[in-house]
Structure 1
Amino acid sequence: MGAIYTSTAFREYAKAQVAHADILLIKHSESALSLCRCGRLHPCDDRQHWLRMRAHFGRFLVDEQYSSEVQQPSPPNPTRSDPSRLDDLG
């Protein structure tokens, strides 16, 4: 199930969706008097939709970009009073 999110094809699809959303967000940007460029009140429903789509697909690209830089937390070091230490059990 996780393979689709790491596939090259899905990354390319996500990049294309973000690029498409960027184009449509420019077409639905704020014009004068709190109106969208399409003539409706800003932000219009189309702008809201494309903001959600851009955020949805953009998170797959961000995860990919930074996944190798994220450090996994290390297990805690046992302290002298930690009962799980072997030398304290005897």
Structure 2
Amino acid sequence: MTQWLDAAAFNDIEDEDVARFDHEGRTFAIYRIEDNVFASDGLCTHEHVHLADGLVMGHVIECPKHNGRFDVRDGRPLCAPVCEKLRTYPAKVEGGRIFIEV
């Protein structure tokens, strides 16, 4: 069963930035790019580093440890050392809040 989780206030995340969201022992990364929001697992698939500490450039998140990159729209790896896709989740904005579906 899926559910929508209230993850953050839209205005708390700056444009082209990422925020960490923890829920029931899981970590997610919430991205704001222009007026769009995206969500993924919060740990890099390479060495399980928090992606919220990384750098967002356009639709790309760069892992802070080894500079691996993922497309936040679909989780696909874009350069070494990452080779495993990042799991992504539907995200939406309602009433100034960001919700993710897990």
TM range (shorter): under 0.3
Bigger radius of gyration? 1
TM-score with structure 1 setting the length:
0.27
Q: Whose helix proportion is higher, 1 or 2? A: 1
Q: Whose strand proportion is higher, 1 or 2? A: 2
